[in-house]
Amino acid sequence: MPQSLNSSQEAPAWAPAVLRCAAIYNLLWGALTILFPEWTLGWLLDAERLLALDPLTFVFWQCIGMIVGVYGVGYWVAAADPLRHWPIVLVGFLGKIFGPIGFLQGLWLETVPLRFGWTILANDLLWWIPFGLILWHARSAAVSPDRR
């Protein structure tokens, strides 16, 4: 991947908009999760299971919201120059790969309800193709002959 790119190499025109959308989505999701952990977990759990949760679970859920919000800040920064800030996109892409893996493990162990799956669609799978394409463009720019 490139450390620096010359000015003739640009990201696809859609890449900044995608990263800004990802930033706004992550900042909103993170803020809602931090400010209203019971409410956001209520989207994912039935009332009986929600009421049975240990209070510490809500703290951990809020911490997840903080992490998601920080990703949002990173995506906003990366939107300014997606090829230059490819490491931010890569870290986000990896998170969007490992999130579904963790979800599948939770399903397998029966510790996460299937209802959590909608978050995987919106938080992770939706972004695989655009983030992957941004990284592909960054890689292509790094190995292009006009880089010299």
Q: What is the pLDDT of residues 19-54, one digit of tens each?
A: 999 999 999 999 999 999 999 888 888 787 778 888
d(CA 142, CA 2): 5
> Residues 131, 136, 137, 141: is their CA dihedral positive or negative?
positive
> Please, which residues have CB within 8 angstroms of residue 120's CB and are 6 or more apart in sequence?
99, 100, 103
- The model's pTM is 0.87
Q: Who has greater pLDDT, 147 or 65?
A: 65
Q: Is residue 99 within 8 Å of 29, Cβ to Cβ?
A: no
**Count of helices and strands (H, E) across the chain:** 7, 0
Q: What is the pLDDT of residues 107-141, one digit of tens each?
A: 999 988 898 899 999 999 999 999 999 999 999 98
Q: Is residue 97 within 8 Å of 11, Cβ to Cβ?
A: no
